[in-house]
Amino acid sequence: MSAPWDSRPARVTVPANQFAALCRSSPWRWDTLQFSLYWMERDDQPAALPVRAWLRRPTDLRVETLQGKLLYTATSLEKSRDDFYVAATPKSWLLPPALVTPVYTDEGLVWRRPEAAYGDPMFGGGRWQAVLDPVECVGPAPIPNNLPEQRPSNLTDMVEGRFANRKVWLATVNPRTRYRPFTPEHPLAPGPTRIAVDTATGVCVYSKVLDGPFAGQGHKLGIEAVDDYLLDDLFTDMDFNLTDVSDHVPWPIPLG
């Protein structure tokens, strides 16, 4: 992931409301994602071993080292629902985002998010959730112009760009008192932070804190596949011996 930025002589500006709508859009822009993730410290030094992950919303996740060693799997395929329903709360009955309809802009981005069971399966906690769904930077709905103090952050220097050969929108996020990270101890923007959001998926593929005690920290995420079909075997310890329909299935006929 070295030298990920593509040089571009022209800087095309992006309206703040459109950038915010893109940050709200991830739950409706993809179902499966394969990516590599690098957490960075100061001077672009790795903070932890990079990983490769396969994620299938809403519950399934597989994480490996870049060399292919399995680190973690999570799925609901092998779990009973009994305890879930016995201990149900109003929140547990919320539908996944894919089953509810947000308010869209004319460009097909999310203007206002409905109440839903947001959250992707995570590995290692921290900023993982905000990277996949950076809504914490902008809030679930637009704030009226006469109430700017209620905005979670102030967005500046919004432009188009490219990251790892994919189109992104970049902005500097300046968090305010209303900023509420998904994981309180690990905000995506603990101070003024430059972020890049992939326009096709709404995933935050790059971040770097510009100032403050966390200056230099951030991440780089390389998207490798979007909405590929992923077999159940990938997320379970059990081998279901499922057949790849693209392969020929032999049908031996006994002699005699």
Of 186, 29, 58, 200, which is closest to residue 116 (Cα–Cα)?
58
> pTM here?
0.84
Q: Buried (b) or exposed (e) across 180-214, using 16+ Cβ within 10 A?
A: ebbeeeebbbbbbbbbbbbbebbbbbbbbbbeeeb
Q: What pLDDT, in 10s, does the model give residues 11-58?
A: 799 999 999 999 999 999 999 999 999 999 876 666 678 999 999 999
Q: What pLDDT, in 10s, does the model give residues 175-190?
A: 999 999 998 889 999 9
Confidence of residue 137 (pLDDT cuts 50, 70, 90): very high
Task: Give the whole-angstrom CA distance, residue 124 versus residue 72.
Answer: 10
Q: What pLDDT, in 10s, does the model give residues 138-189?
A: 999 999 888 888 999 999 999 999 999 999 999 999 999 999 999 888 999 9
**What is residue 254's predicted lDDT score, i.e. its pLDDT?**
76
* Per-residue CA distances from 154 to 21, 113, 150, 158 (Å): 14, 20, 10, 11
